[in-house]
Structure 1
Amino acid sequence: MGKGGQGTQNGISKVKDFSMEDVRHHDKRDDKWLVIQGEVYNITDWSRRHPGGSKVIGHYAGQDATDAFRAFHNDLSFVKKYLKPIHIGSLREETKETEVERDFRELRATAEKMNLFKPNALFFVLHLGHILLLEYMAYAVMAYFGTGWIPYILSLVFYATVQAQSGWLQHDFGHISVFKNRYKLDHLMHLFTMGVTKGASPQWWNHMHYQHHAKPNVMNKDPDVRVEELFVVGKVMPVQVAKERKKSMPYNWQHRYFFLIGPPLLFPVYFQYMLFRHIFTRKAWWDLLSVSLFFVKFFYLYIPMLGIGSTIIYYFILRCLESHWFTWVSQSNHIPMDIEEDTAKPWLALQLHATCNVEQSFFNDWFTGHLNFQIEHHLFPTMPRHNLHKISALVRSVCEKHNISYKIKPLGTAFADIVRTLKHSGELWYSTYNAFHSP
Structure 2
Amino acid sequence: MAVPKFPKSGNSFHVELKNRINDYFATTGQSVTGGARIYSKAIILYAALIYCYIQAVFFTPANIWLDILLCVAIGALISGVGFNVMHDGGHGSFSKSPAVNKIAAYSAEIVGASQFMWNMKHNIIHHAFTNIDGVDDDIDAKPFLRMASTQKKYKMHKFQHLYFWMFYSILHIYWTLLSDYKKYFSRKIGEMPLKKMKPVDHILFWGFKVVYYTLFIVIPIVRLGFEKWIIGYLIFSLTAGLILSVVFQLAHTVEDTEFPMPDVATGKLQDEWAVHQLKTTANFATNSKIISWYVGGLNFQVEHHLFPKISHVHYPAINKIVKQACKEYNVTYIEYKRMYQAFISHVSFLKHMGQIA
Assess, with a 3 A threshold, how the Cα gap between structure 1 residues 140 and 226 changes in structure 2: closer, same or farther: closer
Q: Is the 8 A contact 1:356 1:375 kept in 2?
A: yes
Q: More displaced, 205-214 or 116-125?
A: 116-125
Which residue number corresponds to residue 152 of structure 1?
Answer: 67
Q: Which has the higher contact order (CA 8 A, sep 6+)?
A: 2
Corresponding residue to 1:386 among 294, 305, 313: 313
Q: Is the 8 A contact 2:172 2:240 kept in 1?
A: yes
Residue 284 of structure 1: CA displacement? 2.5
Which residue number corresponds to residue 417 of structure 1?
Answer: 345
Which residue number corresponds to residue 254 of structure 1?
Answer: 160
- Residues 230-261 of structure 1: per-residue CA shift (max 9 Å, x gap): 22234xx2xx44xxxx4545222221221332
Residue 199 of structure 1: CA displacement? 2.0
SS of 1:333 mapped into structure 2: coil
Which residue number corresponds to residue 194 of structure 2?
Answer: none
**Separation (CA, whole Å) in 2 of partners of 1:247 and 1:350:** 25
Assess, with a 3 A threshold, how the Cα gap between structure 1 residues 390 and 334 changes in structure 2: closer, same or farther: same
Corresponding residue to 2:121 among 175, 187, 208: 208
Residue 301 of structure 1: CA displacement? 4.3
Determine whether 1:269 maps to 2:174. Answer: yes
Q: Is the 8 A contact 2:73 2:236 kept in 1?
A: no
Determine whether 1:339 maps to 2:259. Answer: yes
SS of 1:388 mapped into structure 2: helix
Determine whether 1:355 maps to 2:260. Answer: no
Q: More displaced, 106-115 or 413-422?
A: 106-115
Q: Which amino acid aligns with 1:374?
A: Q
- Residues 22-56 of structure 1: per-residue CA shift (max 9 Å, x gap): xxxxxx96xxxxxxxxxxxxxxxxxxxxxxxxxxx
**Separation (CA, whole Å) in 2 of partners of 1:228 and 1:294:** 28
Consecutive unaligned residues of structure 1, counting only runs of 5 or more, are 1-27, 30-57, 65-95, 430-439
Determine whether 1:175 maps to 2:84. Answer: no
Q: Is the 8 A contact 1:134 1:161 kept in 2?
A: no
- Residues 147-194 of structure 1: per-residue CA shift (max 9 Å, x gap): 4312311211221122111111100100011234x4333223322x11
Residue 370 of structure 1: CA displacement? 1.0
**Separation (CA, whole Å) in 2 of partners of 1:156 and 1:422:** 30
Assess, with a 3 A threshold, how the Cα gap between structure 1 residues 175 and 363 changes in structure 2: closer, same or farther: same
Assess, with a 3 A threshold, how the Cα gap between structure 1 residues 424 and 248 changes in structure 2: closer, same or farther: closer
Assess, with a 3 A threshold, how the Cα gap between structure 1 residues 408 and 428 changes in structure 2: closer, same or farther: same
Determine whether 1:323 maps to 2:241. Answer: yes
Residue 408 of structure 1: CA displacement? 1.9
After superposition, residues 125-164 of structure 1 pair within 5 angstroms as 125-142=39-56, 143-144=58-59, 146-164=61-79
Report which of the two has the higher share of strand.
1
Residue 200 of structure 1: CA displacement? 1.5
- Give the number of the structure whose alpha-carbon radius of gyration is greater: 1
After superposition, residues 5-44 of structure 1 pair within 5 angstroms as none
Which residue number corresponds to residue 105 of structure 1?
Answer: 18
**Separation (CA, whole Å) in 2 of partners of 1:365 and 1:224:** 22
**TM-score, normalised on structure 2?**
0.84
Q: More displaced, 160-169 or 247-256?
A: 247-256
**Separation (CA, whole Å) in 2 of partners of 1:101 and 1:382:** 15
**Separation (CA, whole Å) in 1 of partners of 2:226 and 2:121:** 33
Residue 415 of structure 1: CA displacement? 1.1
Q: Is the 8 A contact 2:68 2:232 kept in 1?
A: no
Which residue number corresponds to residue 426 of structure 1?
Answer: 354
Corresponding residue to 1:295 among 206, 213, 226: 213
**Separation (CA, whole Å) in 2 of partners of 1:250 and 1:154:** 34
Residue 102 of structure 1: CA displacement? 4.3
Corresponding residue to 1:199 among 91, 112, 116: 112
Q: Is the 8 A contact 1:138 1:154 kept in 2?
A: no
**Separation (CA, whole Å) in 2 of partners of 1:288 and 1:189:** 19
**Separation (CA, whole Å) in 2 of partners of 1:213 and 1:277:** 21
Q: Number of aligned pairs?
A: 330
**Separation (CA, whole Å) in 1 of partners of 2:282 and 2:326:** 13
Q: Is the 8 A contact 1:116 1:384 kept in 2?
A: no
SS of 1:372 mapped into structure 2: coil
Residue 270 of structure 1: CA displacement? 5.4
Q: Is the 8 A contact 1:137 1:155 kept in 2?
A: no
Assess, with a 3 A threshold, how the Cα gap between structure 1 residues 185 and 129 changes in structure 2: closer, same or farther: closer
Assess, with a 3 A threshold, how the Cα gap between structure 1 residues 214 and 99 changes in structure 2: closer, same or farther: closer
Q: Matched residues, percent identical?
A: 22
After superposition, residues 69-84 of structure 1 pair within 5 angstroms as none
**Separation (CA, whole Å) in 2 of partners of 1:339 and 1:376:** 19
**Separation (CA, whole Å) in 1 of partners of 2:64 and 2:214:** 25
**Separation (CA, whole Å) in 1 of partners of 2:15 and 2:37:** 33
**Separation (CA, whole Å) in 2 of partners of 1:377 and 1:291:** 29
**Separation (CA, whole Å) in 1 of partners of 2:104 and 2:49:** 17
For the aligned residue pairs, the C-alpha RMSD in angstroms reads 2.4
Assess, with a 3 A threshold, how the Cα gap between structure 1 residues 425 and 401 changes in structure 2: closer, same or farther: same
